[in-house]
Amino acid sequence: MRHMVSPEEASDLVLEQIPFLPAQTVAHCDALNRTLARDIESTFDVPPWDNSAMDGYGVLSRDLAEASLTTPITLPVAQTVAAGALSQSEIRPGTCARIMTGAPIPPGVDAVVMREETSESSDSVQFTTTVAAGQNIRRRGSDIARGEVPLRAGRLIRAAEWGLLASLGQAQVEVAAQPRVAIITTGAELVDVGSTLQDGQIHDSNSWTLAGLSQSSGASVVAIRHVGDDPQEFECAVQELLPQCDALLSSGGVSMGDFDPVRDVLPRIAQVHFWKIAMKPGKPVMFATHHSTGRTVPIWGLPGNPVSVMVAWEQFVRPALLKMQNRRAVKRLEVRAIIDGAHRSPQGKVEFVRALVVPDAQAATGWTARLAGDQSSGRLSSMTHANALLVVPAEETLLTAGDQVVAQMTEWPETTI
């Protein structure tokens, strides 16, 4: 076992151990927020035929070559084409077709004039402008041509991808399996959200932050267990849950306290890769792997403090859950932000400072970081005022207002200042 690795080393050590999960096929309706497991090649053109981009009139552009406000040209309407109509008969020179958005372009037509630019009366239309050939026509295959690969494996299926898969007729979609996450919270002082607090008790919040974070990364939470501080109880829960999950997270009991079961149990039943990380908050994080019948299940002994557990999840669990799903980008995007106040940081540890990072035209980098107040690791409320973790390098001990810092964006802001 190694001691006091840096957060970067720890993150690499985790990712080295993480297996890809096998792919599975789901119905299109269940594919949102899953990760594509194979490249998607289009077997036909989208759109499948030339169609109108506007409600208007399909014409031969040269018929309108002389049209102007002073010399309007009037053409009779030879046919009306609705979206979904079958192929139409040819439009002869000197006539036009009334055509709706998305309707197929009839043979002979080479441009569409917007309805708003014309006036129609008794089945003939007056045109007062010229039109270029091709105007307002969406060409067959102009969105996606047959044989193109518009989506590659490893892509998150957001609304746009979900819709695109539908337009490509992909009724079944091959996606990465969702990591099954099991959570064990330790601590004799913890009670469930529904319990009235007795002396010495607090509500368990880590179950919910860990479950929420895990779900937001595409995982499904298959179990949440609470145990006290008894090593045997903890070990039983781990043994019970290991066969049912792809990732096991515990919270608390991993530090130097007298009643810290995780610290003692994990090294006995799994291979530990590191225990302490030179970071704040979240120094005690034990990472282990359990191997049985050809399966590797990673186990994280995360800290108990409500902020530490979230910060440690961000750095070491999230990238792993994404890697399991074969996602390409597993790290958060970073921006450079200008901090709005002073901050003291410990020597020798990377500190992750909670902040609200928002776009700000006045700031030199375009981003301002508002520190989220008291940074104690027990203050969960500070996380509700943050959308970023500022990364303060190990050797940096003092930041002053106006300094530039790297901000890991855990969410993008919805407002500017």
Binding site for ligand AMP (CB under 6 A): 185, 187, 189-190, 202, 204-206, 251-253, 255, 257, 303-306
Q: Considering only residues 187, 231, 303, 306, which one is a binding residue for Mg ion as defined by CB under 5 A?
A: 187
What, of ligand AMP, Mg ion, none, does residue 204 touch, CB below 5 to 8 Å by kind? ligand AMP
What, of Mg ion, ligand AMP, none, does residue 251 touch, CB below 5 to 8 Å by kind? ligand AMP
What, of Mg ion, ligand AMP, none, does residue 185 touch, CB below 5 to 8 Å by kind? ligand AMP
**Rg, the chain, Cα only:** 30
Chain position whose Cβ is nearest to ligand AMP: 304
H helices present in 242-333, as ranges: 261-269, 306-312, 318-324
Min. distance of Cβ 282 from Mg ion in angstroms? 15
- Whether 241 contacts 209, CB under 8 Å: no
Q: Considering only residues 104, 179, 231, 253, which one is a binding residue for Mg ion as defined by CB under 5 A?
A: 253
- Point out which span in 118-126, 252-260, 291-299, 385-393 binds Mg ion (CB under 5 A): 252-260
DSSP string across 191-250: E-TTSPPPTT-EE--HHHHHHHHHHHTT-EEEEEEEE-S-HHHHHHHHHHHGGG-SEEEE
Min. distance of Cβ 291 from ligand AMP in angstroms? 27
- Point out which span in 28-36, 244-252, 281-289, 399-407 binds Mg ion (CB under 5 A): 244-252
User: Which one, of 325, 338, 334, 330, lies nearest residue 370 by Cα?
Assistant: 338
Phi (first) and psi of residue 20, to 5 degrees: -80, 145
Q: Residues 291-310 vs Mg ion: string with x where CB under 5 A?
A: -------------x------
User: Which one, of 52, 47, 53, 46, lies nearest residue 106 by Cα?
Assistant: 52
Measured from the CB atom, the residue of 229 and 246 that comes closer to Mg ion is: 229
Min. distance of Cβ 248 from ligand AMP in angstroms? 15
Residue list 100-129, contact with Mg ion (CB under 5 A): none
Measured from the CB atom, the residue of 161 and 260 that comes closer to ligand AMP is: 260
- Whether 17 contacts 289, CB under 8 Å: yes
d(CA 330, CA 102) in angstroms, rounded, equals: 39
Measured from the CB atom, the residue of 47 and 378 that comes closer to ligand AMP is: 378
Counted residue by residue, the chain has a size of 417
What, of Mg ion, ligand AMP, none, does residue 205 touch, CB below 5 to 8 Å by kind? ligand AMP
List, in order, residues 6 or more apart from 40 with CB less than 8 Å away.
149, 150, 151, 152, 165, 168, 170
